[in-house]
Structure 1
Amino acid sequence: MFLDRDGVLSIPEFRDGRSFAPKFLDDFVLYEDAAEGVAVLKRAGFLVIVATNQPDVGAGLVPRETVEAMHERLSKWTEIDDIEVSYETREQDVGRRKPAPGMLLDAAKKWEIDLSASYMVGDRSSDVECGFHAGCHSVFIDRHYSVEPIPEKQIATVSSLAEAVGVIVSHSGKSTPDAARFI
Protein backbone atom coordinates (compact mmCIF):
# COMPACT_ATOMS: atom_id res chain seq x y z
CA MET A 1 0.00 0.00 0.00
CA PHE A 2 1.46 3.31 -1.12
CA LEU A 3 0.15 6.74 -0.22
CA ASP A 4 1.19 10.10 -1.58
CA ARG A 5 1.89 12.63 1.17
CA ASP A 6 0.61 16.10 0.20
CA GLY A 7 -3.05 16.06 -0.81
CA VAL A 8 -3.62 12.56 0.62
CA LEU A 9 -2.30 12.61 4.19
CA SER A 10 -1.27 16.24 4.65
CA ILE A 11 -3.08 19.38 3.62
CA PRO A 12 -1.17 21.13 0.84
CA GLU A 13 -1.00 24.84 0.15
CA PHE A 14 -3.27 25.95 -2.71
CA ARG A 15 -2.31 28.61 -5.23
CA ASP A 16 -3.74 29.29 -8.68
CA GLY A 17 -5.67 26.02 -8.88
CA ARG A 18 -2.67 23.88 -7.91
CA SER A 19 -1.43 22.27 -4.73
CA PHE A 20 2.03 22.72 -3.28
CA ALA A 21 3.88 21.04 -0.43
CA PRO A 22 4.16 23.14 2.70
CA LYS A 23 7.52 24.88 3.03
CA PHE A 24 7.54 25.32 6.80
CA LEU A 25 7.20 22.75 9.57
CA ASP A 26 4.44 24.75 11.28
CA ASP A 27 2.35 24.53 8.09
CA PHE A 28 2.54 20.71 7.99
CA VAL A 29 -0.96 19.57 9.02
CA LEU A 30 -2.75 16.28 8.37
CA TYR A 31 -6.25 15.81 7.00
CA GLU A 32 -8.55 14.75 9.83
CA ASP A 33 -9.07 11.27 8.30
CA ALA A 34 -5.34 10.56 7.78
CA ALA A 35 -4.42 8.77 11.01
CA GLU A 36 -7.60 6.71 11.13
CA GLY A 37 -7.36 5.80 7.44
CA VAL A 38 -3.80 4.54 7.89
CA ALA A 39 -4.81 2.66 11.04
CA VAL A 40 -7.64 0.86 9.22
CA LEU A 41 -5.27 -0.11 6.40
CA LYS A 42 -2.79 -1.46 8.95
CA ARG A 43 -5.49 -3.50 10.73
CA ALA A 44 -6.55 -4.88 7.33
CA GLY A 45 -3.02 -6.23 6.98
CA PHE A 46 -1.44 -3.67 4.68
CA LEU A 47 2.10 -2.39 4.91
CA VAL A 48 1.71 1.40 4.49
CA ILE A 49 4.46 3.30 2.72
CA VAL A 50 4.41 6.97 1.78
CA ALA A 51 5.86 7.82 -1.65
CA THR A 52 6.36 11.55 -2.08
CA ASN A 53 8.00 13.96 -4.50
CA GLN A 54 9.66 16.86 -2.67
CA PRO A 55 11.34 18.79 -5.50
CA ASP A 56 11.55 22.02 -3.46
CA VAL A 57 14.56 20.42 -1.74
CA GLY A 58 16.31 19.76 -5.06
CA ALA A 59 15.46 23.30 -6.17
CA GLY A 60 16.99 24.76 -3.00
CA LEU A 61 13.69 26.24 -1.79
CA VAL A 62 13.25 24.05 1.31
CA PRO A 63 15.99 22.54 3.48
CA ARG A 64 16.05 18.74 3.50
CA GLU A 65 16.02 18.89 7.30
CA THR A 66 12.60 20.58 7.21
CA VAL A 67 11.11 17.80 5.08
CA GLU A 68 12.71 15.17 7.32
CA ALA A 69 11.18 16.90 10.38
CA MET A 70 7.78 16.76 8.64
CA HIS A 71 8.31 13.04 8.09
CA GLU A 72 9.21 12.54 11.74
CA ARG A 73 5.89 14.15 12.67
CA LEU A 74 4.04 12.06 10.09
CA SER A 75 5.58 8.91 11.57
CA LYS A 76 4.50 9.98 15.08
CA TRP A 77 0.98 10.94 14.03
CA THR A 78 0.23 7.85 11.91
CA GLU A 79 1.10 4.16 11.78
CA ILE A 80 3.01 4.34 8.48
CA ASP A 81 5.79 1.82 8.01
CA ASP A 82 8.18 3.75 5.77
CA ILE A 83 8.63 6.84 3.63
CA GLU A 84 10.19 6.92 0.17
CA VAL A 85 11.18 10.41 -0.99
CA SER A 86 12.33 11.86 -4.28
CA TYR A 87 14.03 15.18 -3.66
CA GLU A 88 14.81 15.72 -7.33
CA THR A 89 13.31 18.30 -9.65
CA ARG A 90 12.10 17.18 -13.10
CA GLU A 91 15.49 18.12 -14.52
CA GLN A 92 17.39 16.18 -11.85
CA ASP A 93 15.21 13.05 -11.98
CA VAL A 94 16.96 9.68 -11.92
CA GLY A 95 13.85 7.50 -12.19
CA ARG A 96 12.47 7.83 -8.67
CA ARG A 97 10.36 10.94 -9.15
CA LYS A 98 6.69 10.20 -9.82
CA PRO A 99 5.29 9.44 -12.38
CA ALA A 100 8.31 7.13 -12.70
CA PRO A 101 7.85 4.03 -10.51
CA GLY A 102 11.31 4.10 -8.87
CA MET A 103 10.19 4.79 -5.30
CA LEU A 104 7.63 2.00 -5.44
CA LEU A 105 10.08 -0.43 -7.03
CA ASP A 106 12.71 0.38 -4.40
CA ALA A 107 10.18 -0.12 -1.58
CA ALA A 108 9.00 -3.39 -3.14
CA LYS A 109 12.56 -4.74 -3.06
CA LYS A 110 13.20 -3.50 0.47
CA TRP A 111 9.92 -4.82 1.93
CA GLU A 112 9.33 -7.80 -0.43
CA ILE A 113 6.05 -6.33 -1.68
CA ASP A 114 3.91 -7.94 -4.39
CA LEU A 115 3.17 -4.87 -6.48
CA SER A 116 0.32 -6.59 -8.34
CA ALA A 117 -1.53 -6.85 -5.01
CA SER A 118 -0.68 -3.29 -3.99
CA TYR A 119 -2.38 0.08 -4.28
CA MET A 120 -1.13 3.61 -4.92
CA VAL A 121 -3.33 6.43 -3.62
CA GLY A 122 -2.70 9.94 -4.88
CA ASP A 123 -4.22 13.29 -5.71
CA ARG A 124 -2.41 13.87 -9.03
CA SER A 125 -2.20 12.10 -12.34
CA SER A 126 1.52 11.53 -11.66
CA ASP A 127 0.58 9.38 -8.63
CA VAL A 128 -1.85 7.29 -10.67
CA GLU A 129 0.71 6.91 -13.49
CA CYS A 130 3.36 5.87 -10.97
CA GLY A 131 1.13 3.16 -9.56
CA PHE A 132 0.20 1.98 -13.05
CA HIS A 133 3.86 1.79 -14.19
CA ALA A 134 4.78 -0.12 -11.02
CA GLY A 135 1.99 -2.64 -11.62
CA CYS A 136 -0.22 -1.45 -8.75
CA HIS A 137 -3.91 -0.61 -8.63
CA SER A 138 -4.32 3.16 -8.30
CA VAL A 139 -6.97 5.20 -6.52
CA PHE A 140 -7.31 8.90 -7.36
CA ILE A 141 -8.40 11.40 -4.71
CA ASP A 142 -9.93 14.25 -6.69
CA ARG A 143 -9.24 17.48 -4.81
CA HIS A 144 -10.57 19.49 -7.76
CA TYR A 145 -7.32 21.19 -8.74
CA SER A 146 -8.21 23.34 -11.73
CA VAL A 147 -4.80 23.12 -13.40
CA GLU A 148 -4.01 19.41 -12.94
CA PRO A 149 -4.95 16.86 -15.61
CA ILE A 150 -7.48 14.20 -14.59
CA PRO A 151 -5.93 10.70 -14.66
CA GLU A 152 -7.56 7.77 -16.46
CA LYS A 153 -5.80 4.60 -15.21
CA GLN A 154 -7.22 4.40 -11.68
CA ILE A 155 -9.63 1.76 -10.37
CA ALA A 156 -11.63 4.48 -8.58
CA THR A 157 -11.94 8.22 -8.16
CA VAL A 158 -12.87 9.39 -4.65
CA SER A 159 -12.89 12.63 -2.70
CA SER A 160 -11.01 11.64 0.48
CA LEU A 161 -8.62 9.14 2.01
CA ALA A 162 -11.52 7.65 3.96
CA GLU A 163 -13.29 6.86 0.67
CA ALA A 164 -10.05 5.50 -0.81
CA VAL A 165 -9.66 3.17 2.18
CA GLY A 166 -13.20 1.89 1.62
CA VAL A 167 -12.47 1.17 -2.04
CA ILE A 168 -9.19 -0.58 -1.23
CA VAL A 169 -10.58 -2.71 1.59
CA SER A 170 -13.53 -3.73 -0.58
CA HIS A 171 -11.41 -4.36 -3.71
CA SER A 172 -8.74 -6.33 -1.86
CA GLY A 173 -11.11 -8.43 0.25
CA LYS A 174 -9.08 -7.53 3.37
CA SER A 175 -12.01 -6.35 5.45
CA THR A 176 -11.91 -5.74 9.18
CA PRO A 177 -14.86 -4.95 11.47
CA ASP A 178 -13.90 -1.27 11.72
CA ALA A 179 -13.32 -1.02 7.95
CA ALA A 180 -17.02 -1.64 7.32
CA ARG A 181 -17.87 2.01 7.97
CA PHE A 182 -15.46 3.07 5.19
CA ILE A 183 -17.17 0.88 2.55
Structure 2
Amino acid sequence: MTPRVPTRAQRAVFLDRDGTLTQPRHYPSHPDELILQPNIGAPLRALQKEGFALIVITNQSGLARGMFDTTALYAMHNRLRALLGSQGVRLDAIYACPHHPEGSVPRYRFVCRCRKPAPGMLLQAARDLTLDLSRSWMVGDAPCDIEAGNRAGTRTARVGTELDGHPSPDVTGATTSEVLRRIGRETTSDHER
Protein backbone atom coordinates (compact mmCIF):
# COMPACT_ATOMS: atom_id res chain seq x y z
CA MET A 1 0.00 0.00 0.00
CA THR A 2 1.31 3.44 -0.93
CA PRO A 3 1.33 5.88 2.00
CA ARG A 4 -0.87 8.90 1.59
CA VAL A 5 1.17 12.04 1.01
CA PRO A 6 -0.40 15.05 2.70
CA THR A 7 -1.33 17.79 0.28
CA ARG A 8 0.23 21.18 0.77
CA ALA A 9 -2.17 23.84 1.96
CA GLN A 10 -3.15 26.38 -0.68
CA ARG A 11 -2.09 30.00 -0.71
CA ALA A 12 -4.74 32.71 -0.70
CA VAL A 13 -5.17 36.38 -1.40
CA PHE A 14 -7.72 37.76 1.04
CA LEU A 15 -9.40 40.87 -0.35
CA ASP A 16 -11.33 43.57 1.44
CA ARG A 17 -14.46 44.52 -0.52
CA ASP A 18 -15.37 48.21 -0.23
CA GLY A 19 -12.52 50.47 -1.30
CA THR A 20 -10.34 47.55 -2.40
CA LEU A 21 -12.22 45.29 -4.84
CA THR A 22 -14.97 47.83 -5.37
CA GLN A 23 -14.98 51.60 -5.44
CA PRO A 24 -15.55 53.17 -2.03
CA ARG A 25 -19.19 53.79 -1.08
CA HIS A 26 -20.63 54.71 2.30
CA TYR A 27 -22.57 51.58 3.38
CA PRO A 28 -23.60 50.27 -0.05
CA SER A 29 -26.94 48.49 0.27
CA HIS A 30 -27.90 47.68 -3.33
CA PRO A 31 -26.06 45.54 -5.93
CA ASP A 32 -25.89 48.43 -8.41
CA GLU A 33 -23.75 50.37 -5.92
CA LEU A 34 -20.89 47.89 -6.31
CA ILE A 35 -18.52 49.03 -9.05
CA LEU A 36 -15.20 47.23 -9.53
CA GLN A 37 -11.95 49.09 -9.14
CA PRO A 38 -10.31 49.73 -12.53
CA ASN A 39 -7.97 47.20 -14.14
CA ILE A 40 -8.20 44.49 -11.47
CA GLY A 41 -9.25 41.61 -13.73
CA ALA A 42 -5.84 40.83 -15.23
CA PRO A 43 -3.82 40.80 -11.97
CA LEU A 44 -6.50 38.76 -10.20
CA ARG A 45 -6.50 36.22 -13.06
CA ALA A 46 -2.69 36.06 -12.87
CA LEU A 47 -2.77 35.36 -9.12
CA GLN A 48 -5.45 32.72 -9.62
CA LYS A 49 -3.33 31.12 -12.33
CA GLU A 50 -0.42 31.01 -9.85
CA GLY A 51 -2.60 28.90 -7.55
CA PHE A 52 -3.90 31.50 -5.12
CA ALA A 53 -7.43 31.16 -3.77
CA LEU A 54 -9.25 34.52 -3.95
CA ILE A 55 -11.33 35.21 -0.87
CA VAL A 56 -13.30 38.30 0.11
CA ILE A 57 -13.05 39.30 3.79
CA THR A 58 -15.43 42.17 4.56
CA ASN A 59 -16.85 43.99 7.57
CA GLN A 60 -20.53 44.67 6.88
CA SER A 61 -21.76 46.54 9.95
CA GLY A 62 -24.61 47.94 7.85
CA LEU A 63 -26.40 44.72 8.86
CA ALA A 64 -25.93 45.50 12.57
CA ARG A 65 -26.99 49.09 11.94
CA GLY A 66 -30.20 48.01 10.16
CA MET A 67 -29.21 49.67 6.87
CA PHE A 68 -29.79 46.49 4.86
CA ASP A 69 -30.58 42.82 5.46
CA THR A 70 -28.92 39.52 4.56
CA THR A 71 -30.98 39.26 1.36
CA ALA A 72 -29.46 42.54 0.14
CA LEU A 73 -25.98 41.40 1.22
CA TYR A 74 -26.31 38.14 -0.73
CA ALA A 75 -27.55 40.08 -3.77
CA MET A 76 -24.53 42.38 -3.56
CA HIS A 77 -22.17 39.43 -3.33
CA ASN A 78 -23.87 37.69 -6.25
CA ARG A 79 -23.29 40.87 -8.28
CA LEU A 80 -19.65 40.98 -7.15
CA ARG A 81 -19.17 37.38 -8.31
CA ALA A 82 -20.84 38.20 -11.65
CA LEU A 83 -18.75 41.35 -12.20
CA LEU A 84 -15.53 39.46 -11.51
CA GLY A 85 -16.72 36.44 -13.50
CA SER A 86 -17.18 38.65 -16.55
CA GLN A 87 -13.44 39.34 -16.28
CA GLY A 88 -12.51 35.67 -15.93
CA VAL A 89 -12.06 35.80 -12.15
CA ARG A 90 -13.67 33.30 -9.78
CA LEU A 91 -13.98 33.97 -6.07
CA ASP A 92 -13.34 30.93 -3.90
CA ALA A 93 -15.32 32.31 -0.95
CA ILE A 94 -16.81 35.42 0.65
CA TYR A 95 -16.76 35.96 4.41
CA ALA A 96 -18.73 38.87 5.85
CA CYS A 97 -18.90 40.03 9.46
CA PRO A 98 -22.36 41.49 10.27
CA HIS A 99 -21.50 42.55 13.83
CA HIS A 100 -20.94 45.90 15.51
CA PRO A 101 -21.05 46.63 19.26
CA GLU A 102 -23.10 49.80 18.63
CA GLY A 103 -25.54 48.25 16.16
CA SER A 104 -29.31 48.68 16.37
CA VAL A 105 -30.11 45.05 15.42
CA PRO A 106 -29.83 43.06 18.68
CA ARG A 107 -28.64 39.76 17.19
CA TYR A 108 -25.64 41.52 15.61
CA ARG A 109 -24.89 43.97 18.45
CA PHE A 110 -21.84 42.57 20.23
CA VAL A 111 -18.06 42.44 20.14
CA CYS A 112 -17.13 39.45 17.99
CA ARG A 113 -14.00 37.62 16.92
CA CYS A 114 -14.58 38.13 13.20
CA ARG A 115 -14.81 41.90 12.72
CA LYS A 116 -11.53 43.22 11.36
CA PRO A 117 -9.04 43.98 12.87
CA ALA A 118 -9.81 40.66 14.57
CA PRO A 119 -8.49 37.78 12.43
CA GLY A 120 -11.55 35.54 12.81
CA MET A 121 -12.71 35.53 9.18
CA LEU A 122 -9.21 34.72 7.90
CA LEU A 123 -8.77 31.94 10.46
CA GLN A 124 -12.18 30.49 9.57
CA ALA A 125 -11.36 30.57 5.85
CA ALA A 126 -8.04 28.82 6.54
CA ARG A 127 -9.88 26.03 8.38
CA ASP A 128 -12.67 25.76 5.82
CA LEU A 129 -10.46 25.77 2.73
CA THR A 130 -7.15 24.30 4.04
CA LEU A 131 -5.14 27.46 3.46
CA ASP A 132 -1.55 28.21 4.41
CA LEU A 133 -1.78 31.63 6.06
CA SER A 134 2.01 32.06 6.15
CA ARG A 135 2.06 31.93 2.32
CA SER A 136 -1.03 34.13 1.92
CA TRP A 137 -1.77 37.85 1.63
CA MET A 138 -4.37 40.20 3.10
CA VAL A 139 -5.12 43.17 0.82
CA GLY A 140 -7.10 46.18 2.01
CA ASP A 141 -7.39 49.94 2.12
CA ALA A 142 -7.61 50.43 5.89
CA PRO A 143 -5.40 49.80 8.93
CA CYS A 144 -7.91 47.22 10.23
CA ASP A 145 -7.25 45.10 7.11
CA ILE A 146 -3.50 45.15 7.70
CA GLU A 147 -3.87 44.39 11.40
CA ALA A 148 -6.20 41.46 10.69
CA GLY A 149 -3.64 40.05 8.25
CA ASN A 150 -0.81 40.52 10.72
CA ARG A 151 -2.78 38.82 13.49
CA ALA A 152 -3.66 35.91 11.21
CA GLY A 153 -0.04 35.49 10.10
CA THR A 154 -0.34 36.59 6.46
CA ARG A 155 1.73 39.06 4.52
CA THR A 156 -0.12 42.33 3.98
CA ALA A 157 -0.72 44.86 1.22
CA ARG A 158 -2.33 48.28 1.56
CA VAL A 159 -4.13 50.18 -1.18
CA GLY A 160 -3.80 53.96 -1.01
CA THR A 161 -1.16 56.62 -0.79
CA GLU A 162 -2.08 58.08 2.59
CA LEU A 163 -0.57 55.59 5.03
CA ASP A 164 -0.70 56.36 8.72
CA GLY A 165 2.12 53.95 9.56
CA HIS A 166 0.16 51.74 11.97
CA PRO A 167 0.45 48.91 11.19
CA SER A 168 2.98 48.90 8.36
CA PRO A 169 2.12 46.67 5.37
CA ASP A 170 4.61 44.56 3.42
CA VAL A 171 3.50 46.11 0.10
CA THR A 172 1.74 49.38 -0.76
CA GLY A 173 0.39 50.90 -3.94
CA ALA A 174 -1.82 53.74 -5.08
CA THR A 175 -4.41 51.41 -6.66
CA THR A 176 -5.68 47.89 -6.12
CA SER A 177 -4.36 46.90 -9.55
CA GLU A 178 -0.87 48.14 -8.64
CA VAL A 179 -0.92 46.29 -5.31
CA LEU A 180 -2.06 43.03 -6.93
CA ARG A 181 0.69 43.28 -9.54
CA ARG A 182 3.28 43.84 -6.79
CA ILE A 183 2.04 40.76 -4.96
CA GLY A 184 2.46 38.82 -8.22
CA ARG A 185 6.05 40.05 -8.53
CA GLU A 186 6.79 39.23 -4.87
CA THR A 187 5.42 35.73 -5.42
CA THR A 188 7.58 35.24 -8.50
CA SER A 189 10.71 36.42 -6.67
CA ASP A 190 9.91 34.08 -3.74
CA HIS A 191 9.87 31.12 -6.18
CA GLU A 192 13.24 32.18 -7.62
CA ARG A 193 14.97 32.20 -4.23
TM-score w.r.t. the length of structure 1 is: 0.83
One-letter amino acid of the counterpart of residue 80, structure 2: L
- SS of corresponding position for 1:84: strand
Quick one: percent identity of the two aligned structures?
33
What corresponds to 1:172 in structure 2? 187
Gap change, CA 1:119 and 1:90, over 3 Å in 2: farther
What corresponds to 2:60 in structure 1? 54
What corresponds to 1:88 in structure 2? 99
What corresponds to 1:63 in structure 2? 69
- How far apart, in 2, do the equivalents of 1:36 and 1:62 lie? 32
8 Å Cα contact 1:35/1:77 also seen in 2 = no
- How far apart, in 2, do the equivalents of 1:143 and 1:51 lie? 21
Stretches of structure 1 that go unaligned for 5 or more consecutive residues are: 14-19, 176-183
What corresponds to 1:7 in structure 2? 19
- How far apart, in 2, do the equivalents of 1:166 and 1:90 lie? 36
Give the CA deviation at 1:174.
7.5
TM-score w.r.t. the length of structure 2 is: 0.79
Gap change, CA 1:90 and 1:122, over 3 Å in 2: farther
One-letter amino acid of the counterpart of residue 162, structure 1: S
Q: Which has the larger radius of gyration?
A: 2
Gap change, CA 1:143 and 1:24, over 3 Å in 2: farther
**Which runs of structure 2 are paired with 1:108-127 in the superposition (5 Å)?**
108-127=126-145
What corresponds to 2:117 in structure 1? 99
Give me the CA root mean square deviation.
1.9
Higher mean alpha-carbon deviation, 123-132 vs 62-71, is at 62-71
Gap change, CA 1:99 and 1:90, over 3 Å in 2: farther
Tell me if 1:74 matches 2:80.
yes
- How far apart, in 2, do the equivalents of 1:22 and 1:115 lie? 29
Give the CA deviation at 1:31.
1.2
8 Å Cα contact 2:23/2:36 also seen in 1 = yes
What corresponds to 1:36 in structure 2? 42
8 Å Cα contact 2:156/2:169 also seen in 1 = yes
Q: Aligned pairs, how many?
A: 166
8 Å Cα contact 1:45/1:174 also seen in 2 = no
Stretches of structure 2 that go unaligned for 5 or more consecutive residues are: 1-12, 85-89, 103-109
One-letter amino acid of the counterpart of residue 67, structure 1: L
8 Å Cα contact 1:12/1:21 also seen in 2 = no
What corresponds to 2:173 in structure 1? 158
Give the CA deviation at 1:143.
5.8
One-letter amino acid of the counterpart of residue 6, structure 1: D
